[in-house]
Structure 1
Amino acid sequence: MGQLSAVAIRKSGPGRLGDGRGLELHKGTGKTGKWVWRYSLGGRRRQMGLGTWPDVSLADARAQRDRWASVLAQGRDPITERQAAIEAARAEIERDDPTLETLAREVLEARSATLRNEGKAGRWLSPLERHVFPKIGRAPISTLRQHDIKAALERIWRTKHPTATKAIQRLRIVFRQGKLMGYECDEFTVDAAQHMLGAVIHTPEPIPATPWQDIPDLFERLEGRGTTAACLRFMMLTLVRASGCRGARFDEIENGIWTVPAARMKGQEGKVREFRVPLSDAALEIVEARKALGGDYLFAVANGNPVSDSGLSKLMRDMGEAGRPHGFRTSFRTWVQDTDAAPWDVSETILAHTIGGRVERSYARSDMLERRRPVMQAWADYVTGVESGANVVRLER
């Protein structure tokens, strides 16, 4: 028989009240307390909470103690067993009504085959992990309403609108896919939340680009500044994005043509192809110079890995250059516009942009390699100073 009684508990002051066999009531200064069961397992003292008094009565606390003592007698840890039971119950509930975060991760896993690096490279979940999950991520998907989504995003809706828009887009996909999976949710909830957040006039800031007239000077200033600068010069000449150039390998180049693997090209997984780049004389000179240094990568740093994306931008900032590496593509495109150096479709193909609709592309399959070659050489001649300003004027005619 225990040492406590309901009357004794009500009359006692604050402190620890023992009932025997490890059961204690830790009573506070007010009219509440908490039940604790103390036990030993493998020579280690453990303490298990059994709820608050008076919500849990003395009789209920004793019943819980006896239940978990029988588990202990079988050599199992009561705390571990209880946690496992809680997790199993939660999993059973989430099987029919997952939390927003659980469902979002399921949807990402289902879509990962179509995303770069299974969604990690593009940080598909990042807007949700940063701004949505901390507020409503643990809520069952069936309980979420447009007011909940609005409350989660309203703080950044105008201050970080591009990020908030990505979050809305991801949520719409999650709710749409969740409905197809049989869960109680509808993408209309997200549409309604976006309507409640209101319209925002957002003018995207274009990536700063070096004016094409200043490109030859920048190309010259980069000479002799090391691996990162060599990569920037290669980007100028090839007009391939940083992800493609940073990981460039010598075994990708054959007979003056650099084949950039699909994995380093921009686009949805499974819908982007490898891209052939006709290398100009100046680009091939860089290749030969880098080959003399050894290694597999054209632009490897001391640890053998390719130069970093941040390193490319940092070097340009350190040089006082307002433009950014990705802006070289804009410099080229503006040069083409101002000098009429190439037809629109050729210049767009040089930049690996998609041309025409799906049906049109199914018939027009050429990558215009031979038509691109002279344009790439003309651009390289301009960048390296082989062609003078007079030649550019000639191209304008």
Structure 2
Amino acid sequence: MKNKLTSIGIKKAPGGVHRDGDGLQLEKAGDGGKWVYRYSHLGKRREMGLGSWPTVGLADARRMRDEWKGELAAGRDPITVRKAQRAVEVAARDRSDPTFAAALELVFDARKASLRGDGTRGKWMSQLTHHVLPSIGHIRIKDLTRHDIVEALKPIWHKMPPTAEKAYVRLHLVLKEAQLMGYDCNPLEAVAASRILGDVRYKPTPFEATPWQKIPDLYAKLGNLVTENCLRWMILTCVRAHGCVGARFDEIDGDVWTVPAERIKAAEGKAEPFRVPLSSEALRVLERLRMTDSPFLFSQDGRKPIAHNSPATRLTNLKEAGRPHGFRASFRTWVQDTEACSWEVSEMVLGHAVGNKVERAYARSDLLDRRRIVMEAWARHVTGEAATTSNVVSITKGAAG
């Protein structure tokens, strides 16, 4: 078929559809238009855009039509072929020039093995997912500027400082790690953004802790609900909520409860099982709990442990301002005020690492016997039994000798 269009003729042609032959046509409107290749594949009429006129000239439009005619002659649908080609091109571009969202996934996948629960327990990505990705997730990291980052963090920088700090630290980390992976990006853009956003006046608020002097009153208020027994266990053992709510009977041998590594707060691969000496009062609580058929000390249905936030909710219902995690501060303050034991023993009770890495390599004792004495004294205080400071100090020092 003879070509019907010429470059000069197109310029003079009015608006409308102008056919060139072999399925190529120009849909003109005013001073512009678009090229369309019309064809039939497996009995279905198809229209394939070839670009806009005059950006794509007549000669180029004909060349593209002829290329796609070749695909059609080979039995392939030109539109399907082009989609597949573009998908390959996009994937190649994303591998060499990822968006911030894609870079975040790459960095997270590389780091999650070192995070507890593959990063789910601490919700490592949550601050970025909620406060950063909606603004800059689509931007290529090589194009990401300090001003883009400022716009992402500005809404939370002064209103939610703890959240903003976590988001900034992880955003900066993503850019640093991506750069080390060989991608073209500049981590200093994040640093510059923090300078533009400015300093924040923020004083961290610690967990509300029940004063140690009031712990006996709170302990006496606790009834026999599952959550209240769990609160008793937290007070008596000074173990974090995550360790307590999942406690199992098979973790207890005699008067020692061994909290497994997966419920100990630490980086992945760094946690170790933690032995907790149980006081006489803790053992009495344990005996009452053994009346259940559940493998868990604290379970509502016998099949799974109570929810992590259940003890805190119960404290709120009891109109107690202190939080479960604050019981550890109550114990630590009791130690300070009464000189109940040495610093290293109290730190061991709380499961904190004592000394530097070299010191810990040589001092391998977990001070279980010394901790047992202190926990017994703490339990006597918790239950309101008489225990003078001098008795506690003399007993602890005697154990140390």
Residue 289 of structure 1: how far off its partner (Å): 2.5
Match of 1:11 in 2: 14
Q: Please give the secondary structure, in 2, of the residue aligned with 1:130.
A: helix
Q: Deviations over 1:146-191 (max 9, x none)?
A: 3332232122211111112112211232232223222233433332
Q: Deviations over 1:248-275 (max 9, x none)?
A: 1111111211111111111111222111
Alpha-carbon RMSD across the aligned residues, in angstroms, is 3.3
Q: Deviations over 1:5-38 (max 9, x none)?
A: 975995246xx8998998887888x766666778
Q: Matches of 1:36 and 1:76 in 2, distance apart?
A: 18
Match of 1:262 in 2: 261
Residue 71 of structure 1: how far off its partner (Å): 4.8
Residue 280 of structure 1: how far off its partner (Å): 1.4
Q: Please give the secondary structure, in 1, of the residue aligned with 2:156.
A: coil
TM-score, normalisation: structure 2: 0.83
Residue 193 of structure 1: how far off its partner (Å): 2.4
Q: Matches of 1:285 and 1:42 in 2, distance apart?
A: 80
Match of 2:95 in 1: 95
Match of 2:353 in 1: 354
Identity %: 50
Q: Matches of 1:203 and 1:189 in 2, distance apart?
A: 27
Match of 1:183 in 2: 183
Q: 1:164 is matched by which residue type in structure 2?
A: A
Q: Is 1:215–1:383's contact at 8 Å kept on the other side of the alignment?
A: yes
Q: Matches of 2:257 and 2:238 in 1, distance apart?
A: 12
Q: 2:203 is matched by which residue type in structure 1?
A: T
Q: Matches of 2:170 and 2:305 in 1, distance apart?
A: 31
Q: Matches of 1:362 and 1:175 in 2, distance apart?
A: 35
Q: Please give the secondary structure, in 1, of the residue aligned with 2:155.
A: coil
Residue 350 of structure 1: how far off its partner (Å): 0.5
Q: Deviations over 1:317-359 (max 9, x none)?
A: 1221111111111111111122222211111110111222222
Structure 1 portions without partners, runs of 5+: none
Q: Confirm whether residue 213 of structure 1 aligns to residue 213 of structure 2.
A: yes
Match of 1:315 in 2: 314
Q: Deviations over 1:123-167 (max 9, x none)?
A: 222222222222222322222233332232122211111112112
Q: Matches of 1:253 and 1:217 in 2, distance apart?
A: 28
1:54–1:367 Cα change, 3 Å: same
Q: Matches of 2:306 and 2:19 in 1, distance apart?
A: 66
Q: 2:349 is matched by which residue type in structure 1?
A: I
Residue 219 of structure 1: how far off its partner (Å): 1.9
Q: Matches of 1:301 and 1:38 in 2, distance apart?
A: 67
Q: Is 2:15–2:27's contact at 8 Å kept on the other side of the alignment?
A: no
Q: 2:278 is matched by which residue type in structure 1?
A: L
Give the greater-gyration-radius structure (CA).
2
Q: Matches of 1:380 and 1:92 in 2, distance apart?
A: 64
Residue 96 of structure 1: how far off its partner (Å): 2.7
Q: Is 1:209–1:331's contact at 8 Å kept on the other side of the alignment?
A: yes
Residue 240 of structure 1: how far off its partner (Å): 0.7
1:329–1:60 Cα change, 3 Å: same
TM-score, normalisation: structure 1: 0.84
Structure 2 portions without partners, runs of 5+: 395-401
Match of 1:327 in 2: 326
1:334–1:200 Cα change, 3 Å: same
Match of 2:237 in 1: 238
Match of 2:192 in 1: 192
Q: Is 1:338–1:396's contact at 8 Å kept on the other side of the alignment?
A: no
Match of 2:275 in 1: 276
Q: Matches of 2:308 and 2:65 in 1, distance apart?
A: 59
Q: 1:288 is matched by which residue type in structure 2?
A: E
Most deviating of 237-246 and 138-147: 138-147
Q: Matches of 1:42 and 1:240 in 2, distance apart?
A: 70
Q: 1:276 is matched by which residue type in structure 2?
A: R
Match of 1:124 in 2: 124
Most deviating of 136-145 and 230-239: 136-145
Q: Is 2:23–2:37's contact at 8 Å kept on the other side of the alignment?
A: yes
1:12–1:215 Cα change, 3 Å: same
Q: Please give the secondary structure, in 2, of the residue aligned with 1:154.
A: helix
Q: Confirm whether residue 146 of structure 1 aligns to residue 146 of structure 2.
A: yes
Q: Confirm whether residue 168 of structure 1 aligns to residue 168 of structure 2.
A: yes
Q: Matches of 1:344 and 1:41 in 2, distance apart?
A: 81
Residue 360 of structure 1: how far off its partner (Å): 1.8
Q: 1:354 is matched by which residue type in structure 2?
A: A
Q: Please give the secondary structure, in 2, of the residue aligned with 1:155.
A: helix
Residue 282 of structure 1: how far off its partner (Å): 2.1
Q: Matches of 1:214 and 1:45 in 2, distance apart?
A: 82
Residue 394 of structure 1: how far off its partner (Å): 6.4
Q: Is 2:14–2:28's contact at 8 Å kept on the other side of the alignment?
A: no
Q: 1:118 is matched by which residue type in structure 2?
A: D
1:32–1:249 Cα change, 3 Å: farther
Q: Matches of 1:189 and 1:268 in 2, distance apart?
A: 29
